[in-house]
C-alpha cells in the first residue's frame, strides 16, 4: 500500500491477494512488491549462471528465474541453488519430469502451465513434488502459447482467452488441494496484457506476477514495460514484477525498481531528480548526472537527490529532496541538505562533494532507522 495522508492524490490502494512464499520471500498480501529477473546463461554453465544471479541480487533482485530444459540443467540447478542468496524459480515449461527434478533440487518455485505438462497423473506428480519440497508454483499464461482449443474458440489470442487459460490452470491446482501459486498472463501487446490482467485481478485472489513479455531492447522495452505495468501498478494490481528486456538481467532489475520508485511503491537507492538542461544551465547537467548515477550505485538506502541546472525550478525541487544542487552563476551553485539551503559550491569538484553529501545523508538515514527500530522493541 502506498498511502500519503497529506497528498491523497498520490494514494495507491493495492488489490487484496493471498500471500504465498517463494523460498523465504513473501509474495502477495501486504508484502512489498518483489522484483524478478531471469538468467540468460546456459544453466549447465554453473559458474556463469551463479555469477549472473549474484549480480542480479546485488542490483536488488528478490527472486531469479532459471530455465531448466533438460536433465543436465536439473543437475546443475542443485549446485546453483546451494551457492546463491536469492530464491530460484525453475522454468520447466512442458516436461513434467523437469518439474519434479527441479523441486527436488531445491527450486523455490516452478514456472509451469499445468495444462501443458501431460495427463492428470503427471500433473499430480509435479504437484506432489512441489508440496513435498515446499515449492510454490507460478502459472505462466502467455499470449504466444495459448492452448489450441482456446485459439479455435476465440479466433486469436485475446484477453478473454488468456484469462480462461489461467483460470483453467488454477482449477487444476485447486482440485489437487494446492494453493501455493501465483499467476501471470503476459503478452507483448500492452493493450492485451493490461486488459487480461485487469480481468484476472477480478477473477482470482491469487498473487499476480506482472510482465509485458518480449518487450524489446533496453529503451523500447523499458518504455513498453513502464506503460503497461505502470498503469496496472497504479491501479493496485501486481504483487511481483519482471521487466523482460533484450538486455543484461541487471538492467531489468534496475528498470523494475525505477518503475516502482516512480509510483512510490518501493524504494531502493538514490532517486535522482534532474532537469533535461537548457541554455540556462550553470553546469553540464547531463554529464554530471551520468557521473553521479555511476558513483552512487553502491547506495542502497532509499533517498532522493535533485540536480537542477538553474534557479528557475532548482530551489523548489531541492526543498523536497534529501540532497540537492542548483546551478547558479559565475561557476558555482547552491547545495541543499534535507530540504534546506546549505552552502555555495564551485562547479569544479562538485561531483565528489555531492557524493560525499549523499553518503553522509544515507548514513544518517540508516542511523535514524536503527534508532526507531530499537525504540519500538
For the chain, give every domain's residue range: 12-262, 270-376
Containing H/E element for 48? helix 46-59
130-148 tens-digit pLDDT: 999 999 999 999 998 898 9
∠ Cα 122 26 196 (to 5°): 65
Mean pLDDT of 161-185: 95
- The per-residue pLDDT for 95 is 87
Return all residues near 17 (Cβ < 8 A) that are at least 6 apart: 28, 29, 205, 206, 207, 208, 239
- The per-residue pLDDT for 94 is 80
Cα(14)–Cα(16) distance, integer angstroms = 6
Measured CA to CA in angstroms, residue 247 lies from 143, 186, 216, 217, 254 at distances of 22, 19, 9, 6, 11
Mean pLDDT of 310-323: 91
- The per-residue pLDDT for 375 is 87
- The per-residue pLDDT for 1 is 54
CA-wise closest residue to 164 among 180, 143, 179, 182: 143
63-112 tens-digit pLDDT: 999 999 999 999 999 999 999 999 999 999 788 999 999 999 999 999 98
State the CATH architecture for 12-262. Answer: Alpha-Beta Barrel (3.20)
Return all residues near 333 (Cβ < 8 A) that are at least 6 apart: 282, 283, 314, 325, 326, 327, 344, 345, 347, 350
Cα(111)–Cα(97) distance, integer angstroms = 13
Q: Considering the chain, what is the average pLDDT of its residues? A: 94
The C-alpha cell 536488488 sits at: 60
Whether 164 has a pLDDT exceeding 90, the answer reads: yes
Mean pLDDT of 242-269: 95
- The per-residue pLDDT for 6 is 77
Q: Tell me the fold of 270-376.
A: Sulfite Reductase Hemoprotein; domain 1 (3.30.413)
Helix residue spans in 106-243 (DSSP H):
120-132, 148-154, 159-175, 190-203, 218-234
Cα(326)–Cα(334) distance, integer angstroms = 5
Mean pLDDT of 214-223: 94
Containing H/E element for 147? none
If pLDDT is split at 50, 70 and 90, which confidence band does 3 have?
Answer: low
If pLDDT is split at 50, 70 and 90, which confidence band does 329 have?
Answer: confident
- The per-residue pLDDT for 2 is 60
Whether 116 has a pLDDT exceeding 80, the answer reads: no
Mean pLDDT of 269-296: 94
Picking from 14-18, 24-28, 155-159, 278-282, which range would have the lowest pLDDT averaged per residue? 278-282
Amino acid at each position: 500500500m502506498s498511502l500519503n495522508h497529506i497528498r491523497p492524490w498520490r494514494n495507491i490502494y493495492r488489490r487484496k491477494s493471498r500471500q504465498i512464499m517463494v523460498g523465504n520471500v513473501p509474495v502477495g498480501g501486504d508484502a512489498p512488491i518483489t522484483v524478478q529477473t531471469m538468467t540468460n546463461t546456459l544453466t549447465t554453465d554453473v559458474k556463469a549462471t551463479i555469477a549472473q544471479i549474484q549480480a542480479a541480487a546485488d542490483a536488488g533482485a528478490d527472486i531469479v528465474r532459471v530455465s531448466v530444459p533438460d536433465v543436465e540443467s536439473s543437475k546443475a540447478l542443485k549446485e546453483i541453488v546451494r551457492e546463491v542468496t536469492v530464491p530460484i524459480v525453475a522454468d520447466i515449461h512442458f516436461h513434467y519430469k523437469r518439474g519434479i527434478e527441479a523441486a527436488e533440487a531445491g527450486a523455490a518455485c516452478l514456472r509451469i502451465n499445468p495444462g501443458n505438462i501431460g495427463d492428470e497423473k503427471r500433473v499430480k506428480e509435479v504437484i506432489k513434488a512441489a508440496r513435498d519440497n515446499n515449492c510454490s508454483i507460478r502459472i505462466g499464461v502467455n499470449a504466444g502459447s495459448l492452448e489450441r482449443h482456446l485459439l479455435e474458440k476465440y479466433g486469436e489470442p485475446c484477453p478473454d482467452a488468456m484469462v480462461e487459460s489461467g483460470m483453467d490452470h488454477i482449477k487444476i491446482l485447486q482440485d489437487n488441494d494446492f494453493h501455493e501459486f501465483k499467476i501471470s498472463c503476459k503478452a507483448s501487446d500492452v493493450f492485451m496484457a493490461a486488459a487480461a490482467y485487469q480481468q484476472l485481478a477480478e477473477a482470482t485472489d491469487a498473487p499476480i506476477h506482472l510482465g509485458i513479455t518480449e518487450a524489446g531492447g533496453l529503451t523500447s522495452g523499458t518504455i513498453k514495460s513502464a506503460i503497461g505495468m505502470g498503469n496496472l501498478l497504479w491501479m493496485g494490481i501486481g504483487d511481483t514484477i519482471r521487466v523482460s528486456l533484450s538486455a543484461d538481467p541487471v538492467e531489468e532489475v534496475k528498470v523494475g525498481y525505477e518503475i516502482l520508485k516512480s509510483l512510490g511503491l518501493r524504494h531502493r537507492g538514490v532517486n535522482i531528480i534532474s532537469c533535461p538542461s537548457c541554455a540556462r544551465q550553470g553546469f553540464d547537467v547531463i554529464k554530471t548526472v551520468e557521473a553521479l548515477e555511476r558513483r552512487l550505485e553502491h547506495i542502497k538506502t532509499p533517498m532522493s537527490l535533485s540536480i537542477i541546472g538553474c534557479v528557475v525550478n532548482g530551489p523548489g525541487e531541492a526543498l523536497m529532496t534529501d540532497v540537492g544542487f542548483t546551478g547558479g552563476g559565475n561557476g558555482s551553485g547552491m547545495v541543499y541538505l534535507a530540504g534546506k539551503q546549505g552552502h555555495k559550491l564551485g562547479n569544479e569538484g562538485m561531483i565528489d562533494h555531492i557524493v560525499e553529501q549523499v553518503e553522509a545523508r544515507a548514513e544518517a538515514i540508516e542511523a535514524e532507522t536503527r534508532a526507531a527500530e530499537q525504540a519500538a522493541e
